[in-house]
């Protein structure tokens, strides 16, 4: 039962999808605050650029910094351990010719030997 759950977690794209949702949501906040700041810049005074208002440049910088911190946390605490666990339990195929390519080469060689005139 636990083996199936381990396979579900490590073989599928579950972690990739979760990371995409987390990063996408955080980036959405960056885009929203940038849009709010940009549209608030229509005839406004320069004194309001760095205030704590929700439409300020400071709110945009806060969203960017939050995004970078969140991305670092997700990478170091989710992606890296997941990659190491996946490699430990499901190692990559050794480098070399894939099995299907080797089989196709054998078929090619057999067909080529059958087409040569027999001596």
Confidence (pTM): 0.63
The predicted pLDDT at position 14 comes to 82
User: In the structure encoding, which two tokens stand for residue 34, read together?
Assistant: 């940038």
pLDDT tens, residue order, the chain (119 aa) = 777 787 777 766 888 889 999 999 999 999 999 988 888 877 655 555 555 556 678 888 999 999 999 999 999 999 999 889 888 887 877 777 788 888 999 999 999 988 876 65
Q: Measuring CA to CA, how many Å separate 22 from each of 31, 38, 70, 91? A: 15, 25, 9, 27
The predicted pLDDT at position 71 comes to 95
Q: Measuring CA to CA, how many Å separate 38 from each of 22, 31, 41, 106? A: 25, 10, 5, 63
The predicted pLDDT at position 108 comes to 93
Residues 6+ apart with CB under 8 A from 99: none
The predicted pLDDT at position 51 comes to 56
The predicted pLDDT at position 49 comes to 56
Gap between the Cα atoms of 83 and 75, Å rounded: 10
């Amino acid at each position: 039962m636990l083996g199936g759950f381990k396979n579900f977690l490590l073989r599928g794209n579950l972690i990739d999808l979760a990371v995409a949702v987390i990063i996408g949501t955080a980036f959405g906040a960056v885009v929203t605050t940038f849009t709010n700041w940009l549209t608030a810049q229509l005839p406004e005074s320069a004194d309001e650029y760095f205030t704590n208002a929700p439409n300020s440049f400071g709110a945009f910088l806060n969203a960017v910094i939050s995004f970078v911190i969140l991305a670092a946390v997700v990478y170091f605490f989710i992606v890296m351990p997941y990659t190491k666990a996946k490699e430990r339990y499901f190692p990559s195929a050794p480098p070399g010719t894939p099995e299907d390519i080797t089989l196709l080469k054998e078929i090619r060689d057999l067909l080529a030997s059958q087409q040569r005139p027999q001596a």
